[in-house]
Structure 1
C-alpha cells in the first residue's frame, strides 16, 4: 500500500469512528487510531475508558502518550488523532492523520443534534493539532 492509499484509508477509518461516537454521544472525546504499514489491523485507543473523570486536555495527553508508545513499539504505518474541536458557536470533528512520509489535519464542521448531526465539507487546517508524532 503506497503512502497516499494508507493516508486515505486511515482518514476514512478515523472519520467513520468519529462519526459513530458523534452520533452516539453528541461529541467526540480525544481518541487514537493506528494501522500497520499494510493498512490493516486498525487499533483504537479511547482514554475515557481508563480515565472516566479526566478533562479534555488530560484525555488528549493520554491519547498522544499512547500513540507515541505504539510508534516506539514498531509495526505502525499510520496514526490518527480524532476529537471534537470547538470555536465560539461552531463545532467540528478534528482528524489528524500521519504516515511516515506525510501528515494532514482536517476539520469537518458539523451541524444538527443527536443522531441527526451531519458533517460538512472538510477544511484543511494549518499545521497539526499536535506533533508531528509519526511523520518527519
Structure 2
C-alpha cells in the first residue's frame, strides 16, 4: 500500500489484528474455563501464605510508612545522579562548573532533609 492513505490503512490493519487477538483470547478463556465457580466450598476464601484469614477484611495503613517510602525513593534517585557524576568528575573539561552544579543539586536535597527533620518525619518514635 502506497500513497497518502497507505500508512493509515496499515495502522487500521494492525489495530484490527490487535482487537481480533484480544477477542479471541477472551473467547478462548470463556470456552475453556470451568463452569462451577462455587465448588469446592472453600474456593472463594482468602488465602495468604498458608494461614487462614482471621478478622475483618479492612485494615488501616499508617501514613508515616508512605512518607518513609517517599524519602527512600527521593534519596535513591539522588544516588542515581551522583554515581555518574563521580565517574566523569576527574575527566578533563569537568572542573569547577561540574562541582558547582553538583553542589546546587546536593544543596536542594539537603534542604529536603532539613525540611523532613524539622517536620519531625525523621524521628524514631
TM-score (norm 2): 0.27
Greater per-residue helix proportion:
2
Greater per-residue strand proportion:
1
Structure possessing the higher radius of gyration over alpha carbons: 2
**Quick one: higher RCO (CA 8 Å, sep 6+), 1 or 2?**
1
